């Protein structure tokens, strides 16, 4: 048997120490902090930690992708480091940049001390000084890599990046290291739990996907959304929670500009609970559509549907 074959044997596949314990304990921990996962979500989160692989979470906006990463951090008592992606995000905002103002002040201070005519050796010393840790500004990716304690790194809405910018992530997600020309390669002392979210606004590169475990989170079923409402709005009646989840599911089946998110479902439940409602009437549903829908055309379309018959 070759060394490679031996390395691939059962001993090499032994699980590493886990902060999460097991898929079942992961699910229990998430529930304790208010996130209600299904079996698949808990399993992928656990495997991502065990395999030291990022988890790419795709799905419609508002289905709890970002909340999952936040809940994992809360459950584990770990610091959450968030990189909010947007068009035009560059290395200076994602990885690191040099504090140019401070570097300039250091150069000017050297000149004030009579070093205006710097020799080559003196300039080399000054250059080594201004490109040192003191002048380095860490951004989210580098901060996560250098953190001495375990952290959760959330790369939110990665699909909003330009295709070229994805290359910034590859070194970090492949080897958990960052190369800084002036300082060398900085390697993580601990492996962060990494979550990337995407709303599917564009196709992500194969190179990025290969480095990740994949998880798709869709809108919850009526039963699961009812459970979410009951957990997030203590005291709400079972009948009202059931009607709220049923109404939202009906609205999501209409061709809207923006379908109601889970957080907006919770907002509606809170609104109705504060109003003292025990059930949703057609008029009450029409009067509170603005809590769920954020475009007037969507509100008008939904109101027209509600006049046909009350959603169940």
CATH number at residue 156: 3.40.50.300
pTM: 0.83
pLDDT at 294: 94
pLDDT at 113: 60
Is 67 inside any structural domain? Answer: yes
Indicate whether 202 and 148 sit together in one domain.
yes
pLDDT at 1: 41
Number of domains in the chain: 3
pLDDT at 160: 93
DSSP string, 37-104: --HHHHHHHHHHHHHT--EEEE-STTSSHHHHHHHHHHHHT-EEEEEE--TT--HHHHTEEE-HHHHH
Half-sphere exposure at residue 191, Cβ-oriented, CA atoms within 13 angstroms: 14
More confident residue, 34 or 6: 34
Band the pLDDT of 8: cuts 50, 70, 90.
Answer: very low
Indicate whether 27 and 109 sit together in one domain.
no
Domain around 200: 16-89+143-216
Residue with the two structure tokens 């009646």? 237
More confident residue, 38 or 123: 38
Q: What is the pLDDT of residues 162-218, one digit of tens each?
A: 877 888 788 788 888 888 888 888 898 889 999 999 998 888 989 999 999 999 999
3-state SS assignment for residue 154: strand
Is 312 inside any structural domain? Answer: no
Is 57 inside any structural domain? Answer: yes
Q: Is the pLDDT of residue 151 over 50?
A: yes
- CA dist 35 and 3 (Å) reads 44
In the DSSP assignment, the letter for residue 177 is E
Q: What's the mean pLDDT in 224-238?
A: 93
Strands 193-198 and 55-58, by their bridges, are: parallel
Nearest of 194, 160, 161 to residue 175 by alpha carbon: 194
More confident residue, 67 or 111: 67
Is 152 inside any structural domain? Answer: yes
Band the pLDDT of 102: cuts 50, 70, 90.
Answer: confident
32 burial class (0-12, 13-18, 19+ CB within 10 angstroms)?
exposed
User: In this structure, what are the phi and psi dihedrals at residue 110, rounded to the nearest 5 degrees?
Assistant: -65, -40
pLDDT at 305: 87
């Amino acid at each position: 048997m070759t060394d490679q074959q031996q390395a691939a044997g059962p001993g090499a596949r032994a699980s590493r120490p886990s902060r999460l314990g097991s898929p079942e304990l992961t699910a229990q921990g998430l529930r304790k902090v208010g996130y209600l996962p299904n079996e698949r979500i808990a399993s992928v989160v656990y495997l991502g930690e065990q395999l030291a692989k990022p988890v790419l979470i795709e799905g419609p906006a508002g289905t709890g992708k970002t909340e999952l990463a936040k809940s994992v951090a809360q459950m584990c008592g770990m610091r959450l480091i968030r990189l909010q992606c947007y068009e035009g995000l560059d290395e200076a905002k994602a990885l690191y940049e040099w504090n140019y103002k401070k570097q300039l002040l250091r150069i000017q201070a050297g000149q004030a001390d009579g070093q205006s005519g710097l020799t080559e050796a003196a300039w080399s010393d000054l250059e080594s000084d201004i490109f040192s840790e003191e002048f380095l500004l860490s951004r989210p990716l580098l901060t996560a890599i250098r953190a001495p304690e375990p952290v959760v790194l959330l790369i939110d809405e990665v699909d909003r990046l330009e295709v070229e910018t994805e290359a910034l992530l590859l070194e970090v997600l492949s080897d958990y290291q960052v190369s800084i020309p002036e300082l060398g390669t900085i390697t993580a002392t601990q492996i962060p739990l990494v979550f990337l979210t995407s709303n599917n606004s564009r196709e992500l590169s194969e190179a990025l996907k290969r480095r990740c475990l994949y998880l798709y989170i869709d809108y919850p079923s009526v039963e699961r959304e009812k459970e979410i409402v009951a957990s997030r709005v203590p005291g709400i009646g079972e009948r009202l929670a059931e009607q709220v989840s049923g109404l939202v599911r009906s609205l999501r089946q209409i061709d809207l500009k923006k379908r109601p998110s889970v957080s907006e479902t919770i907002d509606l439940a809170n609104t109705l609970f504060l109003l003292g409602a025990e059930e949703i009437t057609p008029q009450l549903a029409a009067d509170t559509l603005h809590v769920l829908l954020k475009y007037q055309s969507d509100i008008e379309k939904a109101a027209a549907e509600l006049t046909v018959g009350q959603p169940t």
